Amino acid sequence: MPVSQSAASTGPATGIRRGLTSYGDAGFSLFLRKAFIKGAGYSDDALDKPVIGIINTGSGFNPCHGNMPALLEAVKRGVLMAGGLPIDFPTISLHESFSQPTSMFLRNLMSMDTEEMIRAQPMDAVVLIGGCDKTVPAQLMGAASAGVPAITLVTGSMLTGGHRGKRVGACTDCRAFWGKFRSGEIDQQEIDDVNSRLVGSVGTCSVMGTASTMACLTEAMGIALPGSASPPAVTADRVRIAEQTGTQAVALAELGTEMSTILTQEAFENGLRVLLAIGGSTNAIIHLTAVAGRLGIRLSLEDLDRMSVETPVLVDLKPSGAYYMEDFHRAGGVPAVLRELGDLIHRDVPTVTGRTLGEEIDDAGPGFPQDIVRPLSNPVYPEGSLAFLRGNLAPGGAIIKQAAVSAHLLEHTGRAVVFEDTADLAARIDDEDLDVVAEDVLVLRNIGPVGAPGMPEAGYLPIPRKLAAQGVKDMVRISDGRMSGTAAGAVVLHVTPESAVGGPLRLVRTGDTITLSVSRRLIQLEVPEDELTRREETLGPPPAPAAERGYRKLYVSEVTQADEGCDFRFLQSTELPRPEGSQSLLKAP
């Protein structure tokens, strides 16, 4: 077909004809586009196929995505087998340890990059390849807003390593060994030695951290293929899944399946249910809230808490249990969890396969004897892994990973020891003169979305060195920040609203009494209301964030609080209902 006729044909544009650059002449626009791409060796026959975009987040700074070349080739093979034309393109790539000030600060930027590149380039469907903590949610956020059929492919977890006869893996064991080093249990030579053994291969963390959690949730919500969450990065299973993902992307393109038909309210409820059952990361709540917000869906943390009462932890993985992701894969992965959850799951929701989640669960077959994915009758922990807290210290709510808390701290009242920010924490936490005992409550403020900015994973405050040397392993810690999904302890996170926008956390003083009661879902500052009012009047309004230019200025001006997913308000769906009386509507001055 001549180029000019093709450009002017009736019906919605597809393939290489989608989204033509405007020169005032559609025929010329297509003529020019085809001329350039033919310079890369494409034929007219190839350019008449459905175009499947493949997001390439490979980066030398991102070892979690170190298997990207193999995955790209496998996805392309699957696309070609199904009669499509695969074209990969780059976007921002984020790695937790190589993102300053934090990858959470850059998540929204990556989502914008993802959305605009999908919009800008002609594709009938897109494969979202990501893995490290913030990449998967950023891609889901961007693709949800772009409105093109999409399917997720995670890069997969790393293999474990070995240290002195013991299996180890990042990053729960990273924190455990560092704690031993701080307390003097191991010396410099051993900490240097284990540093080379904690990460056994490329791939994401080998425990149920944020990356593994998000992988499991994409599968549970039906936006990734069944069985795709758990294969380790360097296995044949992972490559085969990549090929199948490419093939399925062509089917999605031919059907025009929109993400909104898969990521429904019920799909997100399934995601929350699985989050509780796998002992997943607290970060996932923020990410799911942000993705849902792009689709006009508001997630309720009260609903999450109600689910938690009836959804025990079934997966025995670190940091809530003992095993690693490669063990979870051999135990049946997400399909095994969904099978055990039974009627707690919405089975009739659609998935990217074109079949319902219930059909996929049935197709996965019966279970088999093993001790990693437990039945409801024999859980790892009797309730869900997470609990939602409220109180005068967190009017908009806070989160605690109750399944990973030392039992004696689930109900605790102690004296506050306050740190103003991360610099203050670094300067004083190991000071021998710090007035602190094991029963105290460590409070860190100004590490929220605006205050840091970017809500770093500093909420997992280290045990003061002098207490660690005495054998103290856990303390109640409270902040308006986050912690890594690989961490454990009595850590209260996501205190909303944050101190930097006027939240009550800024009113706490060293010596105040704080009560944590997980059973009552309470986080309370035991200070009279009139005294809190006096303190607020003395402090006055919070200062404006120090951001003069660029993305940082955009971020602190537009980011929402944790209960709205820390997304930019202007990126949320216009149909998103606002929470009644929510404190999250506070914005930076």
Does any domain span residue 4?
A: no
Instruction: Return the SS3 of 350.
Output: strand
Give the pLDDT of residue 499: 97
Does any domain span residue 25?
A: no
**pLDDT tens-digit profile of 147-173?**
999 999 999 999 999 999 999 999 999
Percentage of residues in the chain having pLDDT higher than 70: 96
Phi and psi of 357, rounded to 5°? Answer: -60, -40
**pLDDT tens-digit profile of 94-113?**
999 999 899 999 999 999 99
pLDDT, mean of residues 113-133: 97
pLDDT of residue 585 exceeding 80, the answer is: no
pLDDT-derived band at 579 (thresholds 50, 70, 90) equals low
Point out the domain boundary residue: 328, 363, 398: 363
Does any domain span residue 374?
A: no
Q: Would you give the DSSP letter of residue 53? A: E
Instruction: Return the SS3 of 518.
Output: coil
Number of domains into which the chain is organized? 4
Point out the domain boundary residue: 169, 195, 221: 195
Q: In whole angstroms, give the CA distance from residue 365 to residue 41.
A: 45
Does 556 share its domain with 538? no
> What is the extent of the structural domain holding 557?
551-585
**pLDDT tens-digit profile of 428-463?**
999 999 999 999 999 999 999 999 999 999 999 999
pLDDT-derived band at 545 (thresholds 50, 70, 90) equals confident
Does 329 share its domain with 407? no
**pLDDT tens-digit profile of 311-343?**
999 999 999 899 999 999 999 999 999 999 999
Does any domain span residue 249?
A: yes
What's the mean per-residue pLDDT of the chain?
94
pLDDT of residue 580 exceeding 70, the answer is: no
Does any domain span residue 464?
A: yes
**pLDDT tens-digit profile of 396-423?**
999 999 999 999 999 999 999 999 999 9
Q: In whole angstroms, give the CA distance from residue 249 to residue 232.
A: 22
pLDDT-derived band at 586 (thresholds 50, 70, 90) equals very low
Give the pLDDT of residue 576: 86
pLDDT of residue 531 exceeding 80, the answer is: yes
Does any domain span residue 28?
A: no
Point out the domain boundary residue: 195, 213, 248: 195
Does 189 share its domain with 245? no
Does 215 share its domain with 183? no
Does 215 share its domain with 231? yes
Q: In whole angstroms, give the CA distance from residue 550 to residue 495.
A: 27
Does 152 share its domain with 165? no
**pLDDT tens-digit profile of 471-500?**
999 999 999 999 998 888 999 999 999 999
Does any domain span residue 2?
A: no
471: domain CATH number is 3.50.30.80
- Residue 386 CB coordination number (10 Å): 28
Q: In whole angstroms, give the CA distance from residue 324 to residue 160.
A: 8
pLDDT, mean of residues 244-265: 97
Does any domain span residue 371?
A: no
pLDDT-derived band at 581 (thresholds 50, 70, 90) equals very low
| Residue whose tokens read 């093709």 | 6
Does 317 share its domain with 391? no
Does 486 share its domain with 557? no
Sign of dihedral through CA atoms 465, 467, 468, 469?
A: positive
Instruction: Return the SS3 of 15.
Output: helix
Does 344 share its domain with 430? no
